[in-house]
């Protein structure tokens, strides 16, 4: 990797062996992007656009003849001086005028990646990255923006962020601070994103980017199941294995806006950052504001190439480093066995059977603190119901530990019920607008995490349960979107800051707890995948992908999330059949195989399982334990299926000596050609034995010729192939 400058110091080329990113300070003042894509050795000015005189435009002092600012590839654009496309930055000055004109000031190379105060971000050891700091200023407004570009040594990714400083004498209102803006040359692009709903997360949407503005967003207070804070622009002919893909993701857990504009001339501008509709930040003289980090990801090897970049970055440079290689325990979650009706007797019954079957972690879900068996009471008090669990959580933990298993506990620290002691004592701790009734969600209000005393309370509650070391795992849930977004503790001039201050408060709590208890495994959850995002992954080493545990639906959900997240970050449970969410009946083997390549657990009532089912579960757990060591560090691929009746995945060991491949047959269709599937990521020089058939194949043969897809006379059937290098 390197950061090189032209002789006059106005062109900078950021590169490694995979990518190049080139910027120029035209006339020493206009910062523009010249190239982002596959690595080039040196940049000599290739690809600079030609301009001709146009009507209905503006004129500017610039050495480039006939330049139009309305299609100039500005690196960090604002409106007001001739660029009418989507802006990345907007400021209201003390006069009430919304105007800013940033001019280039200089480049500076940093040996280490700077930390982002109060925000999660990718991290790296010295020597693994280089960072370029670019300074731009508007001297009249008294504002300085520092743009950061961090390139990693081994992959096609660049981390982007902005820091805004008030260097003047007037108070400023930040209205829009996007985490990056990227200009791409005029051509056809497909735009890809993930949409969904509760229990239906991770659906892939792909369409041709047309003229105008394409956008996705969340204004729900969290990143949301409706839209993932991710999108990709790609060659329309790109596949899982081939073609150019530009992937973008925001390391943030709150309201976001992602958009791409195809302008009047066919050029494309892409952006992602905090949603400006729910953001306004007062910046007084001497103060600074840090925008969240975004990841720019370039692949010339299709969507799987993009995914490999994200997987590597998030596993080794984002999630808690103590869990990068740590094997995840096989868990049994109590929710679908008990729901709210928790008792010590039920715990003992389930735990004893879980131990016999080989489970390593018992998770006590919601219900343990409720005054009754519903979601209407007690949220926020976090006092164990001694009638349900005599001796409290300490007794429950001791019981589970006596079985030789770890103990996990469910919390929803951000919520409070109206029927709770906490709300009766501190009604001002909830988000609310005076004079208006607070809207409930799951019979809950939202605690105002922008208030320091609220954060201190949440931390004290968690400390009380965690400091004794009796809890090995915490499931952190959050079950409703935001309404009445107002803090009683903020003055009127700062009301626009509450959504972002809430997320900063959440990160402060998570940072405090994970640093105090670094060995505790934290799993993020928000009604399933409503806050499955890189911001949470920085603190929670794994996330619950969806409340929908139906194996058929999980093939789509897990495949969608695998575009960005490595399998080690995804919880996948084997649940009861017929499934509680969909009513669909799927075999126990299929449920297991769909979860097998991820963080596998169980979520069912073991007392209702037959002896045959228990024997099969014991066999599954034993098999999974033998493989998880390499599976959780493996390269995961979505293999191209011949038609929509199949979902095909494979995991390849780091040394390429072993591979597990899964074919999910959705429906029994004997009259259709089933075709072949080709593997990916194998060593073409190796020969492999398929453990089931004992047949030998060359790695190149498996990747180029492929394997014929078999046929099973049932719906929702899984074929599993296990390839091991032939010695």
**Among this protein's residues, is 477 annotated catalytic?**
yes
Query: Which H helix or E strand runs over 515?
Result: helix 498-516
Full DSSP string of 397-442: HHHHHHTT-EEEEEE-TTEE-SBSHHHHH-GGGB---TTSPPPPBT
Q: Which two tokens mark 711?
A: 């046929």
- State the pairing for strand pair 473-476/406-411: parallel
Half-sphere exposure of 604 (CA within 13 A, CB side): 26
**Among this protein's residues, is 533 annotated catalytic?**
no
Q: Which two tokens mark 399?
A: 């019981």
Q: In b/e form, how buried is each residue of 56-78, taking b as 16+ CB within 10 angstroms? A: eeeeeebebeebbbbbbbbbbbb
Distance CA 684, CA 234 (A): 28
Count, residues in the chain? 727
Q: What is the distance of C-alpha 597 from the center of its chain?
A: 19
Q: Alpha-carbon Rg of the chain, whole angstroms? A: 27
Q: Which two tokens mark 459?
A: 């931390």
Reduced to 3 states, what is the DSSP secondary structure of residue 46? coil
Q: Could you say which of 365, 366, 547, 553 is catalytic?
A: 547
Q: Between 344-357 and 392-402, two packed helices, what is the crossing angle to 10 degrees?
A: 20
DSSP 521: E
- State the pairing for strand pair 599-603/331-333: parallel
Q: Are 143 and 167 in contact, with CB atoms under 8 Å apart?
A: yes
Angle at 98 between CA 97 and CA 104, to 5 degrees: 120
Distance CA 700, CA 709 (A): 18
- In degrees and rounded to multiples of 5, residue 396 shows phi and psi of -65, -45
Distance CA 275, CA 261 (A): 16
Q: Could you say which of 366, 477, 533, 553 is catalytic?
A: 477
Half-sphere exposure of 282 (CA within 13 A, CB side): 12
Distance CA 594, CA 590 (A): 6
Q: Known catalytic residues?
A: 477, 547
């Amino acid at each position: 990797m390197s950061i090189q400058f032209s002789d006059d110091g106005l062109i900078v080329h950021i590169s490694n062996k995979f990518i190049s990113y080139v910027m120029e300070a035209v006339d020493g003042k206009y910062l523009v992007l010249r190239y982002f894509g596959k690595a080039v050795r040196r940049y000599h000015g290739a690809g600079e656009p030609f301009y001709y005189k146009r009507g209905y435009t503006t004129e500017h002092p610039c050495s480039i003849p006939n330049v139009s600012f309305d299609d100039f590839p500005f690196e960090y654009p604002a409106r007001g001086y001739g660029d009418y496309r989507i802006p990345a930055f907007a400021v209201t000055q003390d006069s009430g005028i919304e105007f800013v004109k940033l001019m280039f000031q200089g480049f500076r190379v940093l040996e280490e990646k700077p930390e982002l105060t109060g925000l999660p971000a990718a991290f790296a050891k010295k020597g693994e990255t280089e960072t370029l700091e670019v300074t731009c200023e508007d001297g009249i407004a008294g504002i300085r923006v520092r743009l950061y570009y961090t390139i990693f040594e081994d992959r096609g990714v660049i981390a982007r962020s902005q820091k805004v400083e008030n260097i003047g004498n007037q108070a400023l209102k930040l209205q829009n601070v996007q985490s990056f803006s990227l200009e791409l040359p005029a051509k056809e692009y497909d735009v890809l994103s993930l949409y969904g709903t509760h229990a239906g997360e991770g659906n892939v949407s792909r369409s041709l980017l047309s003229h105008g503005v394409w956008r996705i967003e969340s204004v729900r207070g969290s990143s949301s199941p409706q839209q993932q804070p991710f999108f990709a622009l790609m060659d329309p002919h790109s596949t899982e294995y081939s073609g150019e893909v530009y992937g973008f993701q925001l390391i943030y857990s709150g309201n976001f806006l992602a958009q791409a504009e195809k302008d009047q001339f066919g050029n494309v501008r892409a952006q992602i950052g905090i949603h400006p509709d729910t953001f306004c930040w007062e910046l007084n003289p001497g103060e600074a504001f840090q925008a969240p980090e975004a990841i720019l990801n370039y692949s010339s090897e299709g969507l799987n190439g993009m995914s490999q970049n994200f997987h590597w970055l998030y596993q080794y440079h984002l999630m808690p480093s103590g869990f990068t290689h740590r094997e995840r325990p096989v868990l049994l979650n109590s929710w679908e066995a008990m729901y709210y009706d928790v008792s010590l007797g039920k715990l003992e019954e389930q735990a004893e059977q879980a131990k016999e079957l080989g489970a390593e972690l018992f998770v006590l879900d919601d219900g343990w603190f409720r005054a009754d068996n519903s979601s209407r009471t007690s949220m926020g008090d976090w006092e164990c119901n001694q009638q349900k669990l005599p001796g409290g959580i300490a007794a429950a933990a001791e019981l589970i530990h006596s079985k030789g298993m770890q103990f996990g506990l469910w919390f929803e620290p951000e919520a409070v019920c109206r029927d709770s002691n906490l709300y009766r004592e501190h009604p001002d701790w909830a988000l609310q607008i005076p004079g208006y009734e607070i809207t409930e969600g799951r019979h809950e209000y939202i605690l105002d995490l922008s208030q320091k005393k609220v954060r201190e309370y949440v931390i004290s509650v968690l400390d009380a349960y965690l400091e004794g070391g009796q809890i090995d795992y915490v499931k952190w849930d959050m079950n409703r979107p935001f309404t009445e977004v107002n803090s009683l503790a903020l003055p009127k001039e700062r009301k626009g800051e509450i959504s972002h201050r809430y997320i900063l408060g959440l990160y402060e709590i998570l940072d405090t707890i994970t640093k105090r208890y670094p060995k505790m495994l934290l799993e993020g959850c928000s009604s399933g995948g409503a806050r499955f995002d890189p911001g949470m992954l920085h603190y929670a080493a794994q996330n619950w992908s969806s409340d929908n545990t139906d194996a058929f639906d999980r093939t789509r959900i897990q495949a969608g999330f695998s575009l960005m997240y490595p399998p080690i970050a995804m919880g996948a449970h084997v649940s009861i059949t017929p499934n509680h969410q969909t009513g669909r009946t799927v075999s126990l083997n299929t449920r297991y195989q769909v979860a097998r390549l991820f963080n596998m657990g169980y979520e069912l009532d073991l007392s209702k399982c037959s002896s045959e089912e228990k024997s099969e579960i014991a066999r599954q757990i034993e098999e999974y334990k033998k493989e998880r060591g390499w599976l959780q560090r493996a390269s995961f691929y979505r293999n191209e299926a011949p038609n929509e009746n199949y979902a095909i995945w494979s995991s390849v060991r780091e040394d390429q000596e072993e591979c597990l491949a899964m074919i999910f047959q959705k429906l029994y269709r004997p009259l259709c050609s089933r075709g072949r599937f080709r593997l990916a990521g194998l060593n073409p020089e190796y020969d492999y034995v398929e453990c089931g058939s004992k047949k030998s194949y060359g790695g190149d043969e498996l990747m180029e010729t492929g394997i014929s897809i078999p046929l099973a006379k049932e719906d929702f059937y899984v074929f599993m192939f296990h390839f091991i290098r032939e010695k």
